Each structure stands twice: as C-alpha cells, then as structure tokens.
A and B are shown apart, each in its own frame.
Chain A
Amino acid sequence: TQLLEQSPQFLSIQEGENLTVYCNSSSVFSSLQWYRQEPGEGPVLLVTVVTGGEVKKLKRLTFQFGDARKDSSLHITAAQPGDTGLYLCAGNYGGSQGNLIFGKGTKLSVKP
C-alpha cells in the first residue's frame, strides 16, 4: 500500500518568514502534484512535477522533486497571510488517471 507522509502537520509563522513542507513516500511516483485547499473549498492545483530532480517556481513558491521520485518539497519565501491554507501533496503511482494518493496535508497559518 502506497503511503504519502507530509511534514510538518501544522505550521504557524509570521508574515515574511520562509518555510518548507515535505512529502515523502517509500514508493516511486510517476508524477506528483501539490494542491492548496482553503476551508469549505476543494483543492486547487498548484503544480505538477514529473522528472526526478525537477524544480519548478511559481512566484514565491518553489517545488522540488527528488532525484529518485520518492519525495518532494515545497518552499515558500516571505510568506504572506494569503498563503494560509492546507497544502496537500498527491502522488500518481501509474494507476488510473484520477487515482491519486494524497498526504494528510500541512495546515499553514501566516500571521500578519
């Protein structure tokens, strides 16, 4: 059974600080996505990584995929209150297209 471990589970920081969220698995992903979810809403896709060692940047967010495609990280620079939310990583292990394994998420709170 594939399992995604996310850490930390909770993170409360001040505006302007940097942070990193981690996503780890014992299995190799064919692809991995990061989503952000706000209370009462569905997850919104941030990025997809496919190639081992890949780095993608989305404004202040930097996403990295491990060389062995078993882990990923999300780094946020100079966090803002608008970054508050639940960050979920989700892996596709080559099953049906919509069958993603999600981690439990990292709940981020950025205080002004």
Chain B
Amino acid sequence: ETGVTQSPTHLIKTRGQQVTLRCSSQSGHNTVSWYQQALGQGPQFIFQYYREEENGRGNFPPRFSGLQFPNYSSELNVNALELDDSALYLCASSSPGRHTGELFFGEGSRLTVL
C-alpha cells in the first residue's frame, strides 16, 4: 500500500510569485485535504477535495486554490505569494466511509517566501 506522497519537499519563492504543490493520495483514498502549518503552530485546514470537487474550505483567501484529478491526486496553487505564506503545506488523504475524520498525512512541502 502506497502512502501519501508530496512534491516538492522544499522550495523557495519570492513575494508575488505563484506556486503549485502536488499530492498523491494513499491507495484507495478518494478524499484529499490540504493543511498549512506555520512554525510553532498546529496545522490549519485550507480545503478538501472529494470526487474532483471542493468539499469544504477553511478561512483562506481565494488566491489559495486547488484541483483533484480522476486518479485522486491533487494540487494546491497559491497566487501572489506573501511572506506569511511561508509554512509547511501538508496533504492528507482519507478513505471513503470513514466519518471519524482520520487523516493520513504526507511529509509536507516546506515553502519559504522571501
């Protein structure tokens, strides 16, 4: 069984640029969630995708957007990067029928905005 994989693991951008982060969900999982974890904080929910549609969104501006593909992999796009966007971005997948919210996380993409 393949776990959640994310790419890239680290990247550096400058203010105003755009970034795309990628995630492959765990085998058999059709729901993908994205979280932002700033230094010293717990993860914060950005949004969730189920069957290629956004299915829940946290308190993040529209410049945070996403996609889910037919194979359940997903992308997180952030436009007009700001310094405060520097964080660890975590992707998590969950299996269908699990209504207790258990998530399986990837190792994350560490984004630094200069």
Interface residues of A (CB under 8 A from B): 4, 6, 30-31, 33, 35, 40-45, 48, 50, 88, 90, 92, 95-105
Contacts and interface: CB of A to CB of B under 8 A. Distances in A.
A42 B48 contact: no
A103 B42 contact: yes
Interface string B25-67: 0000001110100001111110010100001101000000000
Contacts of A92: 100-101
Interface string B96-114: 0011111111111010000
Nearest to B44: A102
Given A48-B102, A97-B31, A42 B90 contact: yes
A101 B45 contact: yes
A48 B103 CA distance: 10
Interface string B8-40: 000000000000000000000001110100001
Contacts, number: 86
Instruction: Name the interface size band of chain B.
Output: 20 to 34
B40 A42 contact: no
A27 to B, nearest CB: 14
Nearest to A6: B42
B76 interface: no
B103 A96 contact: no
Given A96-B56, A97-B98, A98-B94, A45 B104 contact: yes
Given A33-B103, A43-B90, 14 more contacts: A4-B42, A31-B100, A33-B100, A33-B102, A40-B108, A40-B110, A42-B105, A45-B102, A88-B42, A92-B100, A98-B48, A98-B103, A100-B43, A101-B45
B92 interface: yes
Nearest to A96: B56
A95 B56 contact: yes
Contact of B94 (A35, A50, A97): A97
Contacts of B31: 97-98
A42 B106 contact: yes
